[in-house]
Structure formats: C-alpha cells, structure tokens
Amino acid sequence: MEEQQPKATKFMLNYGLILGLVSIVFNVMLYTQKMHYEMSTPVIVISILLTAAAIFLGTNAYKKANGGFLKISEALKIAVGIALVSTIISLIYQYLLINFIEPDFMDKAFEIAKPKAFEQNPSMTEEQWEQGVAMQKSMGWLRYPIGLIFGCVIGLVLGLISGLILKKSKPEF
C-alpha cells in the first residue's frame, strides 16, 4: 500500500509566514534605529541567514513528515514557496512603510545617498542628480516585481543547498 505524501503547500505557507513575520520584526527594529534607509552588508547578510534558516527548517520538517525521504525537486519547490510567501509579506510591509508609515521615506533615502553619489562621481552635476532621482521615483513600482523575482531566486539557490544537504532517496524495491 502506498504511503500518503505530505502536502508541500502546508510547509511553504507555515514557514513562509514565520519568515515573513520575522522579517517584519527585523525591519521594524531597523526602522526604530533609523537604519532602514540604506541596506548595509550586515543587514543583507542577516536577512539571507534568516531566509536560509527558515528554508532549511521548512525543508527538514517536510523531510521528517515524508518518512525521512526528500528529493531535490521537493526541496526546491518548498524553498521557492517559502521565499515567495515571505517576500510577498515583506513587500506588503515595504509598501505600507513607504506610502503610509513614512511617506517621505524616498526623499530621506535620496538625501542620505546624495553625498556618497557625488563622492563616487565628482563630475556629476546637481541637474543630473535631480534627473536621476526623478527617474528612480517614476520607476519606483519596479521594486516590487524585482523584489519578488530576487526573493524567488534566493529561495531557489538556498533550496538547492538545503536539498543537497538533506537529500535522501526512497529505496527502489
């Protein structure tokens, strides 16, 4: 008699929601410390480590529920699902932050970035800076689909790593 395979969707949603909520807590912490304007290397590393932990734990939980067996394709599917759910939650938070919580977020972020931009490119004029800011503001909506794609790619890479670590095939007989 064939064993029932657990539903991967349950693991994707549960661990994706957990990761999404942890990401919001982390972002609120950054907001309270006024560190949310620029993404520094430590913040990016911590975010990726949180994602890796959630994906590994979710994939491992699925493996345990599946009798200790896991295919790489299942790990990839679960990882991308977890990343997709958490990225959607994070992007909703980001939308609320930029449009309702702190409506002048983009202006402050550009002001913080301005001296660094002029330092890196001394020949830039004030007019060129203003044109660049205007273009970035008009293309601001692109951050959401790009963020979604980037989140899924990170999930795919971390899922591959988790799948390679946790992989265990069922016997053929």
Contact 162, 58 (CB under 8 A): no
On whether residue 3 sits in a domain, the answer given is no
Nearest 5°: phi and psi at 70? -155, 130
On whether residue 44 sits in a domain, the answer given is yes
Residue 122 to residue 48: CA distance in whole angstroms: 33
How confident is the model at residue 74, as a pLDDT?
Answer: 96
Measured CA to CA in angstroms, residue 89 lies from 124, 128, 151, 162 at distances of 37, 35, 11, 23
Residue 113 to residue 70: CA distance in whole angstroms: 46
Q: In this predicted model, what pLDDT tens digit does every residue of 59-85 receive, in sequence order?
A: 999 999 999 999 999 999 999 999 999
On whether residue 1 sits in a domain, the answer given is no
On whether residue 20 sits in a domain, the answer given is yes
Sign of CA dihedral 143, 149, 152, 154: negative
Closest-CA residue to 52 (of 169, 136, 162, 173): 162
Find which of 1-5, 125-129, 157-161 is predicted with most confidence, using mean pLDDT: 157-161
Q: Which residues contact 170 (CB under 8 A, 6 or more apart)?
A: 69
Decide if pLDDT at 134 tops 80. Answer: yes
Number of domains in the chain: 1
Q: What CA dihedral angle connects 143, 149, 150 and 156, to 10 degrees? A: 170
Residue 85 to residue 19: CA distance in whole angstroms: 9
Decide if pLDDT at 12 tops 90. Answer: yes
16 burial (CB, 10 Å; 0-12 / 13-18 / 19+) is buried
- Domain containing 44: what range? 8-105+143-166
Query: pTM of this prediction?
Result: 0.91
Min mean pLDDT across 16-25, 99-108, 151-160 is at: 99-108
Per DSSP, the residues of 12-57 read HHHHHHHHHHHHHHHHHHHHHTT--SS--HHHHHHHHHHHHHHHHH
